[in-house]
A and B are shown apart, each in its own frame.
Chain A
C-alpha cells in the first residue's frame, strides 16, 4: 500500500503544481510567481538546511486519513502547492476527498517537494483547528493552520495568529529552527517540522503585511528554541527540548483529531475530556455496528422475497423486448447505477410495483443528497414514460440497472485488484 502511494504521480490537486512546476530549478518560478519575498527567504533557508534531507514519507502515507501530501523529495518547488492545497478543507480524512468525491490517498504526492514543506495541508488544517482552541500561547501552531484552512469554518482567528510563523519565515536565518532530523526523530516529527515550515511559507505569502505585527508578537512569545527545522515556539517557562516540543505537536494533532471526532459523534459538543470523549466514540461505533448487524439480518430475511419477485418479473418475455427500449432511453452510465435503487422499484410485495404515475417515494435526506435524488427521479420518470405502464417499465429499468451495477461491481473489483 505504501509503495504504490509513493509511486503515484501528483494527482488531482496538482493542477496547481502544474502552474509552477519546474523540476530542476525551483527558486525562479517560485519567485516569479509574485509571492512574498518572505516565502522565498524561508525557502532558501529551508533549502540550505534541508539539503541533506532525504525523501521523507509521511507518517500516514498509506492512509488517506491524514493528508494529501504523502511524500516529498528534496526539491524546493513544492511551495507552490500550498496555496492550492489550502483550499481543501478540514483535517484528516476529509481532505482526502478529491474532485471525484473519493478519498484520494496520496495522490498529491509531492515529487518535487522538499522535505521541509510537506504536509502543509495536514499541518495547516490542524493548526487551523487548534486555532479554535483557546491555546493562544501556541502561536506557531495556530498561525500555520490559518492559511490553508481558511475555507473551513473551523479556523477562527486568522489574522492575529499569523504572527510567529511569518516572523520565523521572515527571519529565517535568525530564527532558530528545531532540527528534528538531527535529533534522529522519526519521520513523523520531521514531517511536522516541515509542515510548519510550509505553512510558514504560505503564511508569509499571504500575510506579508502582517510581518510587523509578527515581530511584535514574536518577541512576546516564549523562548525561541535553538534548533533548525521546525520553528516551534516554546511557551513561556516550558522546556525547549526538541523532544518535548515534538511531543507537544503530536499531542495537539491528536487533540485536533479528537475535535473532528467530536463533531462526528452526535451529542458530544459539551464533552471536555479525552477519556469521556473516547467513551462516547466507543459507544457510538458499537451502536452503529449493531445497527448494521440488525439491518443486515433484516435484509437477509427480506431478500428471498425480493429475489422471488424479481425472478417472476424478469422472466416475462416482455422484459426482453423492453430492455432494448430501455437502452434507448439514453441513460448515462453514471446514472444507471443510481436508478436501480430507487426504492419504488424494489418489489418487496406485488403491490410494491407502482404504476407509471406513482410519485417517487421520498428517500431520507441522509441517504441521498439532492443530486442523487434528481438522478433517481429522472430515471424513474423516464422509465415510466417509456413504457407507460409501471411493472414492465420498472422491471426493465431495474434489470438494466442490475446489469450496470454488475458492471460497476466488476470494475470496482478490477480496480481493487490492480491496486493490490
Chain B
C-alpha cells in the first residue's frame, strides 16, 4: 500500500481539525474593523502554517516550522502575527535563476565539460532548497540525504495542505 495514502487521511484530518476552529476563533476575537484586515491575513497565514506543522509531526521541517512560528509570535506579539515563514526567503528567490531552461542548458554544457561543475550546480541547488524548506539550514538537515528525505515529506504535506485549503474554499 502506498505509504502516502496511509499518511494522507491522518494528515488531512489533523489539519482540518486544527485549522477550522482556529479560523473561527479569529473571527470571534477580532472586532470588525478595517484596520484588522491586514492582521487577519497574517493571522490566517500563521494558523495555516501552524496547522501544517502540527499535522505532520515527526519531521525535522515540521519541528523547525513550529519553532519558527512560535518565535515569531513572541517577537511580534503586539505588532500582529508575523508574515509567512517564507517571507524572509523572498529575497533569495531572485538570486537563484530557477528557470528550467537555463539550468538545463547549463547542465548540458557542464556534462560535456567536467563533473565538478555539475557537482557545483547541484550544490547550488541543494543550498537553495535548504532555504525553501523550514529548518533547511539547521543542524538536523546537514546531510544531503536527510535533506532529500525531508524534502519528500515536505512536498507531500504541502500538496495535502493545498488540497485541503482548496476544498475549504470551494464552497464559499
Which residues of A are in contact with B by a Cβ distance under 8 Å? 1, 59-60, 62-66, 88-97, 100-105, 188, 250, 253-254, 257-258, 260-261, 264-265, 273-276, 278-286, 288-289, 291-293, 295-300, 302-308, 310-311, 337-338, 340-341, 343-344, 346, 348-349, 352, 361, 363-364, 366-369, 371-372, 401-402, 404-406, 408-409, 412-413, 415-416
Return the 4 tightest CB-CB contacts between A and B, nearest first. A307-B27, A348-B172, A92-B149, A65-B149
Q: Are A282 and B132 in contact (CB under 8 A)?
A: yes
Tell me whether B95 is interfacial, beta carbon within 8 Å: no
Q: Are B126 and A344 in contact (CB under 8 A)?
A: no
A286 to B128, CA, bound (A): 11
A308 to B40, CA, bound (A): 14
Min CB distance A6 to B, Å, is: 15
Q: Are B27 and A279 in contact (CB under 8 A)?
A: no
Partner of A296, one of B3, B45, B98: B45
Q: Are B163 and A369 in contact (CB under 8 A)?
A: no
Tell me whether B75 is interfacial, beta carbon within 8 Å: no
Quick one: given A65-B149, A296-B48, A343-B170, are A405 and B158 in contact (CB under 8 Å)?
no
Quick one: given A288-B159, A340-B20, A372-B12, are A300 and B171 in contact (CB under 8 Å)?
no
Q: Are A280 and B152 in contact (CB under 8 A)?
A: no
Tell me whether B79 is interfacial, beta carbon within 8 Å: no
Partner of B59, one of A93, A101, A261: A93
Sampled A-B contacts (21; CB under 8 Å): A60-B140, A94-B4, A96-B59, A101-B11, A250-B145, A260-B149, A275-B110, A275-B125, A279-B98, A280-B100, A281-B129, A300-B40, A303-B26, A303-B40, A307-B27, A340-B16, A340-B17, A343-B168, A364-B166, A405-B18, A412-B18
Tell me whether B23 is interfacial, beta carbon within 8 Å: yes
Q: Are B17 and A404 in contact (CB under 8 A)?
A: yes
Min CB distance A17 to B, Å, is: 20
Q: Are A92 and B24 in contact (CB under 8 A)?
A: no
A409 to B13, CA, bound (A): 11
Q: Are A306 and B27 in contact (CB under 8 A)?
A: yes
A289 to B123, CA, bound (A): 22
Q: Are B27 and A299 in contact (CB under 8 A)?
A: no
Q: What are the residues of chain A within 8 A of B146 when measuring CB–CB?
A: 59-60, 63, 65-66
Q: Which residues of B (62-106) have their CB < 8 Å from a CB of A?
A: 63, 66, 84, 86, 93, 96, 98, 100, 103-104, 106
Q: What are the residues of chain A within 8 A of B158 when measuring CB–CB?
A: 285, 288-289, 292
Which residues of B are in contact with A by a Cβ distance under 8 Å? 1-14, 16-18, 20-24, 26-28, 32, 37, 40-41, 43-45, 48, 54, 56-60, 63, 66, 84, 86, 93, 96, 98, 100, 103-104, 106-107, 110-111, 118, 121-122, 125-126, 128-129, 132-133, 140-141, 143-146, 148-156, 158-172
Min CB distance B97 to A, Å, is: 10
Q: Are A300 and B27 in contact (CB under 8 A)?
A: no
Partner of B100, one of A60, A91, A283, A361: A283
Min CB distance B58 to A, Å, is: 4
Q: Are A59 and B13 in contact (CB under 8 A)?
A: no
A366 to B160, CA, bound (A): 8
A343 to B24, CA, bound (A): 14
Q: What are the residues of chain A within 8 A of B45 when measuring CB–CB?
A: 293, 296-297, 300
Q: Are B23 and A289 in contact (CB under 8 A)?
A: no
Quick one: given A291-B162, A292-B158, are A1 and B148 in contact (CB under 8 Å)?
no
Q: Are A310 and B24 in contact (CB under 8 A)?
A: yes
A293 to B103, CA, bound (A): 26
Partner of B7, one of A103, A273, A298: A103
Quick one: given A94-B3, A273-B107, A346-B172, are A295 and B13 in contact (CB under 8 Å)?
no
A258 to B147, CA, bound (A): 11
A253's closest neighbor in chain B, by CB? B145
A402 to B25, CA, bound (A): 10
Quick one: given A278-B122, A340-B16, A405-B20, are A289 and B86 in contact (CB under 8 Å)?
yes
Q: What are the residues of chain A within 8 A of B163 when measuring CB–CB?
A: 364, 366-367
Q: Are B10 and A279 in contact (CB under 8 A)?
A: no
Q: Are B84 and A282 in contact (CB under 8 A)?
A: no
Q: Are B148 and A261 in contact (CB under 8 A)?
A: yes
A401 to B128, CA, bound (A): 41
Q: Are A279 and B20 in contact (CB under 8 A)?
A: no
Quick one: given A273-B107, A348-B172, are A261 and B165 in contact (CB under 8 Å)?
no
Q: Are B107 and A304 in contact (CB under 8 A)?
A: no
A290's closest neighbor in chain B, by CB? B86
A278's closest neighbor in chain B, by CB? B125
Min CB distance A127 to B, Å, is: 14
A371's closest neighbor in chain B, by CB? B9
